[in-house]
Amino acid sequence: MTVLSKPTIEVLKNFCSINKSLVINPGNRLSTLSINKNILVYADVEESFDSQLSIYDLGVFLGGLTLFEQPTIDTSKSNYVTVSDQTGRSKTRFFYADPDIITQPPEKEISLPSEDVKFRLGSNTLQQLQRAASVYQLPDLCLYGDGTEMSLCVTDKKNDTSNSYSVQVGETTDNFCYCFKVENLKLLLADYNVTISKSNVALFQGDGIKYFIALEPNA
């Protein structure tokens, strides 16, 4: 019997925005991979799961958790998980899916092929960039280096007269431009150390969580 903590439920909600299905393997590390395989996330949580949970509709599972003040899960059955309150008087059963039909991360954890640009992204800056992208309906987040400053800018790179919003995040002696799709930046609101590889992938390293997100190939 495991009580699911609020931080873990927040991680699961975040995962649901990336892939509606999830396989939880034994241990305390959760991971998910988007259907398009351009977002990969690893999160270390305080609970340790003792068996595999294969959830086809994570949104429905999360909805079921809201029926309980402190949802407690029992994974002793091989074909379903029982969620209950701590007294065990009220409970619900959630049947597992076939894990083979769910897009899952590779068994071996990946690492960046190279580390070419690094900067710190604070939660306030992240929130402002996300708000600006929403207000102006902008699809791209680009990291620019002009030989002096390094800036993040939400823009529409296909439109020369696009509205934009930028913030300086560091200094650099190099010139570069790396772009993400805003829709791929499904990050929990937190502070991140960001590392970008010229191989068109970036690592957002937070406290107990890390996101590998693909860059746009024409960046």
CATH at 147:
3.70.10.10
**Is residue 33 within 8 Å of 65, Cβ to Cβ?**
no
Residues 44 and 135 in one domain: no
Statement: residue 216 has pLDDT above 60 = yes
Tell me whether residue 219 is in a domain: no
Q: What is the pLDDT of residue 87?
A: 85
- Look-up: residue for tokens 């309906």? 137
Q: What is the pLDDT of residue 203?
A: 98
Percent with pLDDT over 70 in the chain: 99
Element (H, E) at 211: strand 209-214
Kindly list the distances between the CA atom of residue 32 and the CA atoms of 42, 54, 83, 141, in Å, as whole numbers in the listed order. Answer: 7, 12, 22, 23
Q: What's the pLDDT tens digit per position in 159-207?
A: 989 999 999 999 999 999 999 999 999 999 999 999 999 999 999 999 9
Residues 74 and 127 in one domain: no
Residues 198 and 125 in one domain: yes
Tell me whether residue 112 is in a domain: no
Mean pLDDT over the full length of the chain: 95
| Overall domain count for the chain | 2
Q: What is the pLDDT of residue 1?
A: 83
Tell me whether residue 161 is in a domain: yes
Q: What is the pLDDT of residue 57?
A: 97
Residues 135 and 193 in one domain: yes
Looking at 46, 74, 101, the residue that finishes a domain is: 101
Residues 80 and 139 in one domain: no
Statement: residue 155 has pLDDT above 90 = yes
Per residue, the 3-state secondary structure of 74-111, as one string, reads: ECCCCCEEEEECCCCCCEEEEECCCHHHCCCCCCCCCC
Q: What is the pLDDT of residue 100?
A: 96
Q: Structural domain of residue 75, as residue ranges?
A: 2-101
Phi (first) and psi of residue 184, to 5 degrees:
-90, -10
Residues 14 and 65 in one domain: yes
Q: What is the spatial distance between Cα 9 and Cα 47, in angstroms, rounded to a whole number?
A: 11
